[in-house]
Amino acid sequence: MRLIEILENRKEALKVAEVAKMLGVTPQHIYKMAKAGLIPCFHVKGAVRFCPAELAEWIKQEIEQANRKRNGSSGGNGMKYGT
């Protein structure tokens, strides 16, 4: 089962350790991303939690953005580094 499908089928909130394992990074990295507002999250009495549906949508957007950059259609002025 793909990660997106797992998240879309999940009903309860995810903990930092679960998200870190799914994304293959450390819990500390997830905390930093959450603090910087780089990943959708919410807080429950100081604990960071993640809505599975929001996380699935965020991952889809990240994949789409990476694909656009890879294909050279980032919407910028077309200049590349070193030019």
Please give the single-letter amino acid code of residue 64: E
Share of the chain above pLDDT 70, in %: 86
Burial tier of 30 (Cβ tally within 10 Å: 0-12, 13-18, 19+): buried
Share of the chain above pLDDT 90, in %: 84
Q: What is the CA radius of gyration of the chain?
A: 15
User: Minimum mean pLDDT among 21-25, 53-57, 72-76: which range?
Assistant: 72-76
Quick check: 21 pLDDT over 80?
yes
Quick check: 79 pLDDT over 60?
no
Please give the single-letter amino acid code of residue 1: M
Nearest CA to 60 out of 13, 9, 3, 20 is that of: 3
Question: Average pLDDT of 21-49?
Answer: 97
Domain boundaries, the chain: 3-70
pLDDT tens figures, 55-73:
999 999 999 999 999 998 6
Q: What is the CATH number of domain 3-70?
A: 1.10.10
On whether the CB atoms of residues 7 and 59 are closer than 8 A, the answer is: yes
